[in-house]
A and B are shown apart, each in its own frame.
Chain A
Amino acid sequence: MLTDINTILFYVFAALVLGGGILTVTRRNAVHSAISLIVSLLGVAGLYLLQQAEFLFAVQIVLYVGGIMLLFLFVIMLVNLDLAAHQRQFNKQWLVALAAVAAVGAGVGYFLYRGKDAFHFAEGGAGLPPGLGNTEAIADSLFSEYLLPFEIASVLLLVAVVGSVVMAKKRI
């Protein structure tokens, strides 16, 4: 029974992810694209929940949907996109690009299909050691094993802050 619900939910979320994704790359109006992207990102968040990654589910919604997409919408407002919406949407090499992607996609798909036996671990496991919530487990690992990347990620964010100010400000 539980498996059935999980299966149904997976397909619902997968439809959101893929449908939102396709709409994102095909819409004429950038705001519509952004809304579709939000749908897609929410679908991804749902998948995280199915995989018992509750912490990432929250991060995805708060940070991605709430933060990054807001940034996108701000820029769409700042930059006048009306003109762009009435122009040609796809570049001249779209057919070549599509063919190339289809070829690569077929290749990757084939290899993944052949390589799927590479995963010789138990499917549908409990996910984590019992008695430990997802957030605690992440915190434990993040602040011990992954302390160095955690610290230097701050440098990455600092660079991004300085960089975006340098780029976007009228006069430094």
Chain B
Amino acid sequence: MSASFGFNAADLIRFLPETILTVMGTLLMVLDPILHRRGSHAFGHLSIAALVAAIGGAVYAYTQAGPAFGGMLMVDGFATFFRVLVLVVGILTILPSYRFLARQDAETSEYHALLIFSIAGQCLMAAANDLIIVFIGLEISSIASYVLAGYFRDDKRSNEAALKYFLLGSFATAFFLYGVALIYGATGSVNLTAARAVISGQGPGGPAPAPVFIGVAAALMFVGLGFKVSAAPFQIWAPDVYQGAPTPVAAFLSAGPKAATFAVFLRIFMTMFEPIGSGWEPLVWFSALLSMTIGNFAALMQTNIKRMLAYSSIAHAGYVLVALTARSQVGTAAAMFYLAAYALMNIGAFAAVSHLSGRGERYQNIEDFSGLGQKQPLTAAMLSIFLLSLIGVPLTGGFFGKFYIFKAALESHLVWLTVLGLLNSAVAAYYYLRMLVMMYMHEPGEAVENAEPLSLGLRAALILPALGTLLLGIFPTWVLEFAGKSAALVK
């Protein structure tokens, strides 16, 4: 055992996005004494610059695709897809934050630094090929998210959201770790590639370990990851946390960590646990159905818009799980496409909510959107695009997302799940359409009358994801081809 420091220049290039983000996150806090003025936008500008640079870094890293740091990271198309996705989510979180934080007098470098660190953790998760990296990335992302959820320390709702998120999140992490420990025991490794070799019986240690044992590990890891993506029956925290967290943070939580955790989910279950696929399929099948049903039916009954979007995000996690249940390359590609479309439309919808919520986040009810179409046609139009896409109307990204997922499910002969999923989508249309009716068919209420004009940041935060949603709906093949190419996770 000689102490050789096992990395070279190519490894560092493949690690570029994370490097850029951590350096900038640290820099933000160091520059705080110089830049901190009331109403200063410097932190936001610097964060966006870092995120754009990191997108560049991720793309550049892809030109040098391959494993890094002795197989700890796997920079492939899949990793790059999710890295870029979470970085875009980061930009779309910061854009509405400008006005939102200024309104509450809460602009600090810490907010932006924590956001940047959280995204760095998610980039790591996207590229992780070793459970130790998955774990550390997950924790960086989660711990930063707990604090962001409780960022308004003087607001009891925000405190409560942070505490609930923290308690259930760390509980979930502990379960995930227990699963990892069992994997280590059964295979002697926590590297996904090496563990897969052992599980499929091609490892150096002889025959494959008993499948029941791997099964327990898979179930424990499923519980841990299921909590993080708010899949039923582990969805209990999501509505409370989304409601209590500052709105841009809620937007971020519903898109960034979710996409990154699904990346990990797909990578773990489609590589390491792929040989025992028929064992975990019923588990995921059940969870997918339960998520869709609970999410959609509970969303019907909500009066608070943030809670409604939370339940809708639970339902959307269910759709992605349908794609995972398909256990095929087509399914993985469909999940990737869907997560991209979902992130854009959801974060856009939350941006509209954050615009309208007012000082102290007073206006959060669905009725507060009444008459928005008359007073602020642009906001209403953009929100309509997001809602239509969430329903899955043609010409939007949401339509093709659902289409590909159910197509993949049918190809894997999951007829019942497809039928029940489609019925669920029909139920979901009701509560999204109710919002549309509220915006266009009702007289303006207090919230809309008091709404301020759209700031530049918010305008961008609404128009960019709307364009993205339409782009995915009209030219889906651009993204889908890339996803299809990258979905072959087993190499």
* Contact flag A111-B22 (CB < 8 Å), given A147-B69, A149-B136: no
- Asked whether B29 is an interface residue with its Cβ less than 8 Å from the other chain, the reply is yes
Report the separation of the CA atoms of residues A108 and B217 in the bound assembly, to the nearest whole angstrom: 10
Annotate B124-161 by CB proximity to A: 1 below 8 A, 0 otherwise. Answer: 10000000110011011001101100110100000000
**Would B117 and A159 count as touching, CB distance under 8 A?**
yes
Q: Give the interface segment out of B204-212, B264-272, B284-292, B337-345.
A: B204-212
Contact of B132 among A119, A137, A149 (CB under 8 A): A149
Annotate A110-146 by CB proximity to B: 1 below 8 A, 0 otherwise. Answer: 0110110111100000000100100001011101111
**Would B3 and A140 count as touching, CB distance under 8 A?**
yes
* Contact flag A148-B216 (CB < 8 Å), given A143-B3, A156-B139, A167-B162: no
A139-172: which residues lie under 8 A (CB-CB) from chain B? 139-141, 143-149, 152-153, 155-156, 158-160, 162-163, 165-167, 172
Contact of A163 among B1, B3, B136, B146 (CB under 8 A): B146
**Would A146 and B143 count as touching, CB distance under 8 A?**
no
Q: Smallest Cβ distance from A102 to chain B, in angstroms?
A: 17
A interface, over-half SS: helix
**Chain A residues closer than 8 Å to B209, beta-carbon distance:** 115, 118-119
**Chain B residues closer than 8 Å to A166, beta-carbon distance:** 108, 110, 114, 147, 151, 153
Q: A113 — nearest CB in chain B belongs to which residue?
A: B212
**Chain B residues closer than 8 Å to A158, beta-carbon distance:** 26, 117
**Would A115 and B213 count as touching, CB distance under 8 A?**
yes
**Chain A residues closer than 8 Å to B33, beta-carbon distance:** none
**Chain B residues closer than 8 Å to A165, beta-carbon distance:** 110
**Would B206 and A120 count as touching, CB distance under 8 A?**
yes
- Asked whether B73 is an interface residue with its Cβ less than 8 Å from the other chain, the reply is yes
Chain A interfacial positions (CB closer than 8 Å to B)? 108, 111-112, 114-115, 117-120, 129, 132, 137, 139-141, 143-149, 152-153, 155-156, 158-160, 162-163, 165-167, 172
B interface, over-half SS: helix
**Chain A residues closer than 8 Å to B137, beta-carbon distance:** 152
**Would B6 and A147 count as touching, CB distance under 8 A?**
yes
Size bracket of the B interface: 35 or more
**Chain A residues closer than 8 Å to B15, beta-carbon distance:** 148
B408-453: which residues lie under 8 A (CB-CB) from chain A? none
- Asked whether B377 is an interface residue with its Cβ less than 8 Å from the other chain, the reply is no
Report the separation of the CA atoms of residues A117 and B211 in the bound assembly, to the nearest whole angstrom: 11
Report the separation of the CA atoms of residues A68 and B83 in the bound assembly, to the nearest whole angstrom: 34
User: What are 23 A-to-B residue pairs whose CB atoms are below 8 Å?
Assistant: A108-B216, A111-B215, A115-B216, A117-B210, A118-B209, A132-B1, A139-B3, A140-B3, A143-B3, A144-B4, A144-B6, A147-B5, A147-B6, A148-B72, A149-B133, A152-B124, A152-B133, A152-B137, A159-B143, A163-B114, A163-B143, A163-B147, A166-B110
